[in-house]
Chains A and B, each alone.
Chain A
Amino acid sequence: MSLDTSALESESAPSSRQRLRALVGGDLGLVPVLLALVALVIYFQVRNAVFLSAANVTNLFIQAVIYVFLGMAEVWLLLLGEIDLSLGWVAGMAGSIAAIVTNVQYAWPWWAAFLVALAVSAAIGALWGLFVVRLRLPSFIVTLAGNFIVEGVLLYILDHVFQGGGAPVQEKVLSDLTNGNLTPAWTWVFVVATVMVSGVVALSRERARRRAGLVNAPLYRLVVKLAALAVFGVLLALVFNADRGSFIPIRGMPFAVPLVFGVMVLYSFILARTRFGRYLYAIGGNPEAARRAGIPVDRYRVYAFLLGGLTAGIGGLFYVSRLGGYSSSSTDSTVVLYAVAAAVIGGTSLYGGRGKMTYPVVGGIILAVIINGLVLIQVSATMEFVVTGVVLLAAVTVDSLARRSQTLLK
């Protein structure tokens, strides 16, 4: 069959259009968000030199942990165009369970407590998922109702079963989640190992593609990425290993950092390298296409809700650890909105089909930077809501524009 080259040219002509689409269509990934983060950090550092002190940076990372976990939980759902508004209280439920059963009265081992707490949170998520797929209800409403139910049940347990005493954290592992640190030596081991493993994985993937005769992205991009990772890792290690104690020296990377990182890597792997992850993207992009391809769409929806609940449960363990306990006054009605904000600020689409697990990590850190920084420059606490709202609105606007430009340019 002969090929008409003029025909080919006319179809490949809109390359400048495609470049524009790549620019506005969110293909830049995290770059704009990271630039915004750098700008925020510079601003707060100029206004108050305490901002980048070792003690504050560590504090900031611990603050970010809950937003990051809840944001990752929402990504499972947002990828399918769903949402779970109950995750804040689900996290509180998991944290409370862990705190209660490990306290001096029950004295469960930490791992059993964690397992039960995570099983409960995963089950709650899966329950909403079943309502959504079986009754074809919008997830927004199901989980809003769920939010009230979980809140009520948790407050009842804390107030009545435990006589308002709440659930203090009395177990070392649970407490160490946010209060324990790696030794400075292990901090370096973690950073160096992470950079080396990333490099080996990236290079072996590069070599496999070249061996199969496939086009590779230019090598300098890989080198730049790895160099950026190495520089960032070394800076973090230096900051974490500086003494930040007031009376006794405190050094080392908080346990929470490698734990969050580990969960992020695991989730990213599932999304990018397994059929399960591929199907979640497919369902988020075009549920009908996924169904025709033989993917059990409803089952995957329930899985996503389950993983959302599970991940929120993990976040709850860290949350209760940081608060030192959970009581009926630890109100959490807004934290879920920060979770959605973390995911969306990072670049996850509310329309489904676009997002990565790295996004809520960056989004959560941005939220923590804003909240922490506004306190440091002594802006009224109420302004925190306004600024967070503006940032979220900006993120949603970018998401919507990116989506519209994709359909307009077609």
Chain B
Amino acid sequence: MSEPVTNESVAPSVTGSAASGDPAPLLRLRAITKSFGAVQALRHVDLDIPAGQVTALIGDNGAGKSTLIKVIAGIHEPTSGEKYWLGQRVDTHTPRAAAELGIATVYQDLALCDNLDIVANMYLGYEETRRSILDEVAMEVHTRQTLADLSVSTIQSVRQLVGSLSGGQRQAIAVARAVMREAKLVIMDEPTAALGVTQTKNVLDLITTLASRGIAVLVISHNLNDVFAVADRIAVMHLGTLVSSGPAANYDTASAVELITTGTTARAA
């Protein structure tokens, strides 16, 4: 099981390479620019994020990865440029608006409440009620169903407090929460940072499961092993510019490192 992803990573790549001919990817960014005063954090970024595929966003610190996902998640308003959702021009300038489209972000500092159990965290802000009383039975049933659908099986009880979970399990809960909200695009910021080997593998499995369910996944990672393990597509950023993007098969570790550090490569296909 050293290579957790085999079948999923190959099959969607085929459609991925044909993406240019497809009617529209799930999310299309065109000429996105973001300035903070005199500082240009993003310069004319063009990026397509297709449904059902894992897109890895890589780049050195300060390359603009975080700014880009914040633009996608509606936290930052781009200075100029356009966003298209399923071919439609959208202006999602608030996290709420992005969430309503189906964009969910799983941040590094996972936004979970340690003092609440898994069910309560999964439904926080969207509780099911009957006559304004919390419907715990329905929420518990759906939580178990969602976790089972995502093959998350390391959880002993969904009534455990989240504070008692491991880092990988917490990541799984945060992702499952996004899936239950029927997210179409899940953005994950460094999902495997600070995780052990087993937990990393569980999270990577979870990412491929998401993609196999037709969900677009955008992953930021510094770990190229993880990137090549799960990514269908790779996008490389350097000093605020998207210097290269395409099917993961077009890259290898050496070319990726070169792109990350210098912004160019002689090797890329």
A residues with CB within 8 A of B: 1-4, 7-8, 10-12, 15, 18, 21, 25, 208-209, 212-215, 273-275, 278, 281-282, 284-286, 288-290, 292-295, 353-354, 406, 410
Find chain A residues with CB under 8 A from B163 CB.
406, 410
Tell me the complex Cα distance, A288–B110, Å.
10
Cβ of B254 < 8 Å from any Cβ of A?
Answer: no
- Closest residue of chain B to A79 (Cβ to Cβ) is B115
- Are A282 and B201 in contact, CB atoms less than 8 angstroms apart? no
For B126-140 the 0/1 string (1 means CB < 8 A from A) is 110100111001101
Given contacts A275-B129, A289-B111, 17 further A-B contacts (CB under 8 A): A1-B209, A3-B153, A4-B1, A7-B198, A7-B201, A11-B154, A11-B169, A212-B141, A274-B134, A275-B132, A278-B124, A281-B113, A285-B113, A285-B114, A292-B95, A293-B124, A353-B114
Tell me the complex Cα distance, A7–B198, Å.
6
- Are A11 and B125 in contact, CB atoms less than 8 angstroms apart? no
Cβ of B112 < 8 Å from any Cβ of A?
Answer: yes
Tell me the complex Cα distance, A284–B114, Å.
10
- Are A286 and B125 in contact, CB atoms less than 8 angstroms apart? no
Tell me the complex Cα distance, A294–B124, Å.
9
Find chain B residues with CB under 8 A from A290 CB.
113, 124-125
Tell me which residues from 112 to 162 in chain B have a Cβ below 8 Å from any Cβ of chain A: 112-116, 120, 124-127, 129, 132-134, 137-138, 140-141, 151, 153-154, 156-157
Cβ of B255 < 8 Å from any Cβ of A?
Answer: no
- Quote the shortest CB–CB distance from B210 to chain A (angstroms): 11
- Are A289 and B124 in contact, CB atoms less than 8 angstroms apart? yes
Cβ of B166 < 8 Å from any Cβ of A?
Answer: yes
Tell me the complex Cα distance, A353–B116, Å.
8
Tell me the complex Cα distance, A275–B126, Å.
9
- Are A278 and B134 in contact, CB atoms less than 8 angstroms apart? yes
- Are B114 and A12 in contact, CB atoms less than 8 angstroms apart? no
Known contacts A274-B134, A353-B113; A12 and B154 CB within 8 A of each other: yes
Q: Which of A1, A4, A12, A208 contacts B208 (CB 8 A)?
A: A1
Tell me the complex Cα distance, A295–B125, Å.
6
Find chain B residues with CB under 8 A from A281 CB.
113, 115-116, 120
Cβ of B267 < 8 Å from any Cβ of A?
Answer: no
Find chain B residues with CB under 8 A from A282 CB.
113, 116, 120, 124
Find chain A residues with CB under 8 A from B134 CB.
273-275, 278
Tell me the complex Cα distance, A3–B113, Å.
28
- Quote the shortest CB–CB distance from B169 to chain A (angstroms): 7
Find chain B residues with CB under 8 A from A208 CB.
137
- Quote the shortest CB–CB distance from B216 to chain A (angstroms): 18
Q: Which of A2, A7, A212, A214 contacts B202 (CB 8 A)?
A: A7
Known contacts A4-B1, A11-B168, A406-B163; A274 and B133 CB within 8 A of each other: yes
Tell me the complex Cα distance, A215–B136, Å.
13
- Quote the shortest CB–CB distance from B143 to chain A (angstroms): 10
Tell me the complex Cα distance, A212–B138, Å.
8
Q: Which of A1, A11, A288, A293 contacts B198 (CB 8 A)?
A: A11
- Closest residue of chain B to A277 (Cβ to Cβ) is B134
Find chain A residues with CB under 8 A from B60 CB.
none
Find chain B residues with CB under 8 A from A353 CB.
113-115
- Are A8 and B153 in contact, CB atoms less than 8 angstroms apart? yes
Find chain A residues with CB under 8 A from B112 CB.
286, 289
- Are A18 and B125 in contact, CB atoms less than 8 angstroms apart? no
Find chain A residues with CB under 8 A from B120 CB.
278, 281-282
- Quote the shortest CB–CB distance from B175 to chain A (angstroms): 14
Tell me the complex Cα distance, A289–B125, Å.
10
Find chain A residues with CB under 8 A from B138 CB.
212
- Are B125 and A293 in contact, CB atoms less than 8 angstroms apart? yes
Cβ of B205 < 8 Å from any Cβ of A?
Answer: yes
